[in-house]
Structure 1
C-alpha cells in the first residue's frame, strides 16, 4: 500500500480497505490472529499524519507502507503461533523500475515454479518471495527486468480460483475500470505460453502488462522464453508500445490521477 501527496497537497491512501482485507485473508491462512480492519487503517492514518513530511512532494514518488504480521513464539519449531506482532514499516520510494514507464523484458522458463494449486500463491506471504530471488538473478543476467511465471477486443487476465496469483488491489482496480468503461470484453481465464505465441504470430496480441502497487502498470516489450523441445531460448517481441489504442497507458494515467487527486473517486481513496 502507498500514500500519495496529491496536486492539492492532501495525502491519500489508495483502497486501504482492499489491502487490509487481503492481509486478513493471509493472516487466516497462516494461522495468525485476526485484527480489526478499520482500527488498523486508523492507526496507519495517524502514523502517516505524524510523519507526513516523509510523503514526497512529487507526482512520481510516494510513501510505501508495509503492514507486517509475524509469529513471535520463543521457539525454533514449526507450529501454531500463540504470540504475534503487528507492525507497520514505511519509506519514501520513487519509480519501481529505473527505466521509468518503459516496456520490460520478461524471462519465461518452465523449469521454475512460483506457485502451485493448493499452495499459498494467492496470499501475501514472505515465503512466496524467497524462491524468486535466484530466478530474478538469472533474469537479470539475461537482461530481463522480471520473470513471467507460467500459467472481439478482449482484456484477459488469469483467474484467481486456482490460487496461483495474488488477488491484487491494482489488478482488481483495473478490472473494475475496464468493466466500467464497457469498451471491450473483460475475461478472467487461463492461458498458456502456446496461446501467447499463437496470438503473437497471428497479430492478435496487442498489449501485455503487469500490475501492482509498486509500479501500477508495467508494460511488457519482450519475453525470453525457454523452449524445452528445442532446448534453447527464444525472444518474442510484444508490440505493447506500438499498439493503438494504448490501453495500459490509459490504465496507468487513470489510476495515477486518482491516487494523486487529479480525479476524485468516491470510494477508492482515503484522505489523511
Structure 2
C-alpha cells in the first residue's frame, strides 16, 4: 500500500527501494542541519557495557610524557545508524578499530573532534573544565557536516564514567592533566558524497604534561598571505578534521623561515584571524590611557574556543566589577572586532602595542614576541617571564580555576 502511494506521488525511484523506505521512515540526518528528520533513540548512559582491560598498562612517569603519544587503558565507543539511532555505549580496552576501506570518513573526511582536559587538585579531586561548552560545540560541528547530533549531558555522563575507570592515569603533579578527545566519524560503507547512515562516536584519553615545561617561551609568528585557513561561509568555525590537515604544509613553510606558527591573515587588508590552531588576542594601549583587549569576532571564520570564551568572560567580569583580578589594568576595554596588520604595525611603531597572545586548550596562553610580515619583523613586547600585563593575571585566574585552587562553577567534578 505504501509503495503504491509512492508511485502515485511520482517520487524518485531511489525512494522505492526497501532500504530507503526504512531509512526515510525511521530518520536520516537532514543534509542542511545534521538533525534527524525523525525521532530515533539518543545516547543512553544507563545502557553502557563495561569490559575491563585484563592487561592494564602502568602509567609512565609524568616527566616523560609527550603530548598525544600515551593513551590510557580504556576507551568509549557508541555506534549510530539512521534506523535505530544511538546504540549501546561500550567502555572497553583501548585498541584498534576494524573498518571497511569504503568508510566515508576515509574518503570524504566526515570527522569531528573535541579537546578538553581533566585536572586533579591538591586534594586528589578530579574535575573537567567547562565540558558543557565542548558538548555544544561538538553538536554544532556535527550539524555542519551532516553527522548525527546527540544529548551532550548523556555523552558527558559516559565520559565521566570512563575517566573514573582510568582515574589513576590523571597525573598528580601540578601542571599536568588528562587530555580528553571525543571524536565522531562517518562509517557508512559507501563511496558517495552524502549524509552517512552510519557513524561512530568514540572517546580516548591521554595524560599530558604542561605545554611550557621549562617556563613560558614567547613564540614567533609568520603572517602568512600565501595560504588561507578559512573564509566566510566555510568551516572555520567548526572543529572538523578537514580544517587541520591543510595547515600542516603552511606550518612547515613557517618553520623553514624560522617561525613557530602561522598567523592566519584574511582579505586584502590582512585581517588577523587565528594563531596556528589557537584563538588570537591583541592588547593595545589607547591614547585616552585605557588598555584594549581585542580578539576577532565570531564571524564564521573563527573557532569559538572554550579558552577564548574564558579569557573574555574573566576580562569582562573584571571590567564590570563582578570579580576584579589583581594586577589587571583598571581601565580595561574588552572588544570583539576586526584587527588588521596595518593597525598592529602602526601601534608597534607608536609604542602602543602592549602584547599579543594565543589562547587554546593545550597551551592555555601562548605569548607572542614577533610577527614576520611582508619581509620584516614586527616586534611585540613581552614581560620578564614572557607574559604581559593582561595575559599574566588572566592566566593566573584561569589555571587556578582549572586546577581547583580557585573555586568556580566552571569546574565539573568527576570524583570527590
TM range (shorter): over 0.9
1:11 maps onto 2:126 in alignment = yes
Partner residue, 2:407:
264
Q: Is the 2:219–2:366 Cα contact (8 Å) retained in structure 1? A: yes
Q: Is the 1:8–1:261 Cα contact (8 Å) retained in structure 2? A: no
Question: 1:40 aligned to 155, 163, 181, which one?
Answer: 155
Q: Distance in 2 between matches of 1:42 and 1:214?
A: 23
Write the mapping of 1:110-259 to structure 2, written as runs, cut at 5 A.
Answer: 110-150=225-265, 151=271, 152-160=290-298, 162-182=299-319, 183=330, 184-225=332-373, 227=374, 233-241=375-383, 246-259=389-402
Q: Which sections of structure 2, spanning at least 5 residues, go unmatched?
A: 1-115, 266-270, 272-289, 320-329
Q: 1:95 deviation in Å?
A: 2.6
Q: 1:2 deviation in Å?
A: 0.4
Partner residue, 1:78:
193
Q: Is the 1:171–1:212 Cα contact (8 Å) retained in structure 2? A: yes
Q: 1:76 deviation in Å?
A: 2.5
Number of corresponding residues: 264
1:105 maps onto 2:229 in alignment = no
Q: Where do 4+ consecutive residues of structure 1 move more than 3 Å? A: 97-100, 242-245
Q: 1:90 deviation in Å?
A: 1.1
Q: Distance in 1 between matches of 2:263 and 2:172?
A: 33
Q: Is the 2:355–2:388 Cα contact (8 Å) retained in structure 1? A: no
Q: Distance in 1 between matches of 2:387 and 2:399?
A: 20
Partner residue, 1:49:
164
Q: Structure 1-normalised TM-score?
A: 0.93
Q: Distance in 1 between matches of 2:183 and 2:371?
A: 33
Partner residue, 2:110:
none
Which structure is larger by alpha-carbon Rg, 1 or 2? 2
Q: Structure 2-normalised TM-score?
A: 0.62
Q: Deviations over 1:240-263 (max 9, x none)?
A: 326996211111111111111100
Q: 1:142 deviation in Å?
A: 2.2
Distance 1:21 1:244, change over 3 A: closer
Q: Distance in 2 between matches of 1:253 and 1:149?
A: 27
Distance 1:97 1:129, change over 3 A: farther
Q: Distance in 1 between matches of 2:134 and 2:360?
A: 12
Q: State the superposition RMSD in angstroms.
A: 1.5
Q: 1:41 deviation in Å?
A: 0.6
Task: For CA contacts below 8 A with separation 6 or more, give which structure has more relative contact order.
Answer: 1
Q: Distance in 2 between matches of 1:85 and 1:78?
A: 18
Q: Distance in 2 between matches of 1:268 and 1:10?
A: 14
Q: Distance in 2 between matches of 1:238 and 1:250?
A: 19
Q: Which sections of structure 1, spanning at least 5 residues, go unmatched?
A: 228-232
Distance 1:245 1:134, change over 3 A: closer
Q: Distance in 2 between matches of 1:138 and 1:94?
A: 27
Q: Distance in 2 between matches of 1:46 and 1:143?
A: 44
